Structure 1
């Protein structure tokens, strides 16, 4: 009997990656949804016996979607597939009725183990045919490339968030990354408007591998630097500016290190990187960004806005890759096998 499988993810690249991992021998009819509301409608139409559900999406995210499925007792088995791999995210979704949780990028062996565990599918695990029929072409347009980069960032963001959550023992709220190709004099416009008139502090860390280079920058507005220093245990007796610098460096090492490790794994490259440096304390954002990246004409800019609401904390990780390396990143991500 054919099983209806619904893959719900706002990224077309992620939807194809999920479809590629499904075993060839599994008798399924695959449908796709771009957000939770679309998934709910399709389940009601009988198109989602099994739902593979992302968490970070527009319209209805994974948490909101799961809540509706539970309240309306919709006929679907939910397996979460997410870049947000924090323990609290996993526990929340399992408590609402998801049967299991898989981290991105999707692991075929992990997937088939879960399918067998719940008696969903126990046959041949090969997915070579689906891999051939769901690949991106080498003629992908800019929107398709940006979507692929957004998913690349989504996985890196999730792993960095997981590391920070463990250190702080707090749940880190993760956004949908903003990804753009920009001239460097437009970078300040890519950041949240709330920061544009604020004094900022920033830490930078460059990275490079064969053919691919870039820079990661952590941005805090002044109020958030103080809040982060307090969360990390600074006391009133400590040197105020010294505590702020230490907080900036600690968070930068955690987030940037985890992000670069995740990028390395997905691109099958090994990045070397320098020690983090303070770009500026209590500076104007426009001046700070334009002066620092003026050596490049155009960049791939990936903006990730992390938040810890109960501590009124918001800060941003900005990944910058120069335009001449963008196609190399895309080719690594899409066409080269890991290993």
Structure 2
């Protein structure tokens, strides 16, 4: 019997991964929601084989791999992640992972990888395979949407990394339902006193609609220009550069979401909401269009550069029911 540890902060991701395991693989399964829990389980002998996510709170996958090496623990790790940057793959293999599988893991690819690494052993009879976790609790809507966004933002980061030649540091996305006044207060409090340039791009498809809002810190626009190998001469040049960056990030992120929930989004052209504005003025000008909204927030950072930008996906209140249906269908 093999002690298998599945480590991911998302219940949806763990559920999908456990469902994808070979049915004839005789494993006893332990679950961990972040790297610190994973390390405790491995020290107790519950992680001979580990399926490990990268982007997690408390202790991420990179830190787990580094800790395993430091402590000399013999766990055999396969990384299963939505961060599909080439540099992310290179780093985890360098840290000792045996393989990298992109989320969501396809059952055939998972089996082939386990076979290639000689981790499957002899197939077992059905009666000899322990029952898998039943997941009687429904996956929380916010957890599911956060995981779908996690996969989508990983694809957007991979494209951005390739275009700019950088490594993109990915956060755990946050999902909240806000009244416009709460959205205003949350953003204004987080970005107090800073000046921003902002763009938005509308999207709609199959009863789901919203706007993607991309915020750039004004203090970092010159650094963005250097990465693009572009020296904006005036406001028009700055606008054009930011529109190009918005097209990369928003387009790839929406494409990643649409593929997972099987919805084809029609996207408007990115529009500049304002250059060098305060958050307060941006929200005030646009409060009529945002009202009550489901907000998914992603904060990207570029390693080695003082560049950060915030992407908010603002779904209309009317979209929540349809999103819930699509996510439930995906899970069942």
> Which interval holds the TM-score relative to the shorter structure?
over 0.9
Asked if 1:173 is matched to 2:172, the reply is no
Question: Quick one: distance in 2 between partners of 1:113 and 1:134?
Answer: 25
Give a deviation string over 1:223-243, Cα, whole Å, max 9, x none: 1222212221123xx523223
Q: Tell me, which stretches of 5 or more residues in structure 1 are unaligned?
A: none
Match of 1:97 in 2: 96
Distance 1:21 1:104, change over 3 A: same
1:301 paired with 2:295, answer: yes
Q: TM-score, normalised by structure 1?
A: 0.90
Match of 1:321 among 311, 315, 318: 315
Match of 1:14, SS state, is helix
* Structure-1 separation of matches of 2:252 and 2:184: 25
Question: Which residue number in structure 2 is paired with residue 41 of structure 1?
Answer: 40
Going from structure 1 to structure 2, the CA distance change for 1:308 and 1:17 (only over 3 Å counts) comes to same
Equivalent residue for 1:16? Answer: 15
The 8 Å contact of residues 187 and 290 in structure 1, kept in 2 or not, is answered as no
The 5-angstrom pairing of residues 150-229 of structure 1 reads 150-191=146-187, 193=189, 195-229=191-225
Task: Kindly report the root-mean-square deviation, in angstroms, between the aligned alpha carbons of the 2 structures.
Answer: 2.2
Contact 1:20–1:130 (8 Å) recurs in 2? no
2:50 matched to which residue of 1? 51
Deviations 1:123-176 (A, max 9, x none): 59x9xx989944764xx6xxx111111111111110000000000011011111
- Return the offset for 1:293: 4.1
Residue of 237, 241, 245 corresponding to 1:247: 241
Give the corresponding residue for 1:70: 69
Looking at structure 2, the residues matched to 171 and 154 of structure 1 have their Cα atoms a distance apart, in angstroms, of 16
Equivalents in 1 of 2:188, 2:173: separation in Å? 12
User: Following the alignment from structure 1 to structure 2, what is the Cα–Cα distance between the partners of residues 337 and 175?
Assistant: 24
8 Å CA contact 1:226, 1:244 repeated in 2 = no
Deviation >3 Å, runs of 4+? 129-137, 188-194
Question: Would you say the 8 A contact 1:188–1:196 is kept in 2?
Answer: no
Q: Which runs of 5+ in 2 are unaligned?
A: none
3-state secondary structure, aligned to 2:318: helix
Match of 2:329 in 1: 335
Residues 1:257 and 2:251 aligned together: yes
For residue 98 of structure 1, report the CA deviation from its aligned partner.
Answer: 0.2
User: For this pair of structures, how many residues does the alignment match?
Assistant: 327
Contact 1:159 1:262 in 2 (8 A): yes
Q: Could you report, residue by residue, the CA deviation over 1:246-270 in whole angstroms, capped at 9, with x for unpaired residues?
A: 2211110000110111011111011
- The answer to whether structure 1 residue 274 and structure 2 residue 268 are counterparts is yes
Matching residue of 1:88: 87
